[in-house]
Structure formats: structure tokens, C-alpha cells
Amino acid sequence: MQNLYIGVMSGTSMDGIDIALVNITAKNVTSIASSCYPMPSKLKQQLLALCETKQTTLQNLGELDHQLGELFADSINQFLKDNKIDKQQIKAIGCHGQTIYHAPIGDNPFTLQIGDANIIAAKTGITTIADFRRKDMAYGGQGAPLVPAFHKAVLQDPQINRVVLNIGGISNISVLIPNHTVIGYDTGPGNVLLDCWINQNLGKSYDKNGLWAKTGKVSQDLLNKLFDEDYFKIPAPKSTGRELFNLPWLHKKLAGTDLKSEDIQATLVELTSLSIANEIKELPILKKLSCELLVCGGGAKNPLIMQRLSTLLPSWSVLTTDTKGINGDDMEAIAFAWLAYCRINNIPSNIPEVTGANQAVCLGVIYQ
């Protein structure tokens, strides 16, 4: 008998609504179907402006929350129709929502995801789980990253040292070493700066196959300025997002430089690659170990990033998660289907050693 869940994810890059249909049991997680539905350009621009300027009105914020709820619900209903799935078969939807601001450090830490889950539940007629991060934060955690628990469930091998690397807008790692506690955190920017820069200069949403970056040369001076950022110096647990690594941040770093735009793109590729490799190489547990690096997310399709990771980690086997049976494009959507499964079955789904929470808890709020 199938135990079907739907996962919905729109990440930092906001390049679409990823939806996955997953059959989940206590022993197996099997992806059955997946699709990506476009985010309307006007809505995307409004969300990007909100994230980058950090300025809005209560009316604008409320309307964007409503619009996203409608978009998620309509996309799910279209997905069900496209795949000829009866909604009665679905146990629950796990929807991450769109992160607007993530501030896990400070006197009053918080995280804000929008996309009204009440609308999703009402328009689909399916129990919906959302607001996955704040319960972890209520117990002293950062509410992120959450995918290491899923990576552990589906990719840990008792005989193999593995690091799962997700390169979305932000890059995060899950360190899966046999007989060792899982380590996981955000290493820094993934595609977010690359996408912002090519969009500003060429009007494209992303640099396909890194072709534009290939025409440029890395600037060591600019790279040094980019690495002059506190986030790269602080120890884990740590998490970040577009509220730090964004176009205004990049423009501040570019002040006084007269580099060609393609040279800046090439340098941003090096920032992403080197910030990941540096974190991996500096982890004590990984020194002197032979490991697999399993890459997923949009960055796995950038040959420049993949080549640099192979060069920077010469003794490692650099692969995509596709080689292990999990489509890298669907990884996060599948993860939130799994998180919904955990919530419905009252299974704790955070890893305190990863997020910094003081205990393991069930994540997500149920909307019916």
C-alpha cells in the first residue's frame, strides 16, 4: 500500500515551485513524480525587492503571503491533474514557504516564511504542514538547515564517508560519517550572487552551464574582499540567506573596482566553490578521510563549480546525488514531503547538533 506525500519548495533562487510526489514508509523514501512550475515574474520581482531592501508595508506583506498561498495551491492542483493523482490518496502536503528573512542570531531571533498554508489546505483539500523552522528556534536552535536530517535518513551508509552538498541559492552541507553525529550547516552563498549578477548585467535568470563565467578571469583582490565577511569566520551551528548575501552586499564589495562584469561572475563562482571547499577541509572529522561528495541543487548543473570542487578536493570522489538514485533537482521538495511524514507520525525531525536546539522536536504546524 502506498503512503503518499507531496513536498513543495521554492528556494532562495525563487526560480520556480518544485513539487514532488513521494511514497514514504519507515524504511523507504521513493520519489514517484516531480515537476517545477514557474513563479510569475512580477511576483518574483516583488519578493526579491522585499528580501533585498528589507522594506515593505503590512498590506504588501499580507498580500504577498496570500498570493504565494494561491500560487502554491494552484501549482499543487495542476500537479495532481498533470499526474492523474486523486487528492484522496495524499496523506499530507509539506510546504516550506518562501523565506523572506532569516535572523537566527540576536536578542530576539526569528525566521519568516510566507505563503499562507490555510489557503493551500483549503484550495487543495489536503492536510498541509508548514512553518517547519520556528519550533526548532523555540528550543534554542537556528531553525536551519533542516535537510541534514533527511540526508541522514536516505543517504547515510554504514561503510562510506559522505558529505551531501546542496548548492541552491545558499550552499549547505550534511556530513555523514559512520558512527558519528551528523554535522550540517550553511557554508555561504551558492547560486544567489551568480544569479543576481547575471540578471543585472544580461537580464538572464541564471548563467546556464557557467558559460558567461567561463569568459572571465578570477580577481584575487575582489575574492579577498568577498571573503572579508564575518559569516565565513564564525563556527557552526550557523545558517544564512538572502538577507546577508544579496545584490546590495555585492555592490558594497565592488566599490572602487573597475573589473569587467564577466570577471566578477568568474570570481563569484570561485567564492562559491572555495567557501564550500574551505569549510569541508577545515572540519577536523574530515581530515585524513577518503570521502564522497554528493552534490545536489542547481549548482550541480554548473560545470565550473563541479570542476573547481574536484580540483579543490583532489582526494575526494565528487558526484551528484542522481548517481545514488535521488534527483538533485528534487532533493529539497522530497525533503519537505519527508518532513511532513515525520510531523503526521509525530517523529522528531531536527538534529540538535546541527541546528543548535537543546532537544529533538517534531517540526511543522498542521493546517486542515
Helix (H, G, I), strand (E, B) or coil at 222: helix
Name the H helices within 83-125. Answer: 117-124
Residue ranges of the binding site for ATP: 11-18
Residue type, 47: L
C-alpha cell at 41: 515574474
Whole-angstrom distance, CA of residue 361 vs CA of residue 363: 6
Binding-site members are 11-18
Q: Judge residue 57's burial from the number of C-beta atoms within 10 Å of its C-beta, 0-12 exposed, 13-18 middle, 19 or more buried.
A: exposed
Residue from 362, 360, 357 nearest 346 by CA = 362
Angstrom distance (rounded) from CA 90 to CA 75: 15
DSSP code at position 195: H
DSSP string, 30-72: EEEEEEEEPPPHHHHHHHHHHHHH----HHHHHHHHHHHHHHH
How many other CB atoms are there within 10 angstroms of residue 233's CB atom?
8
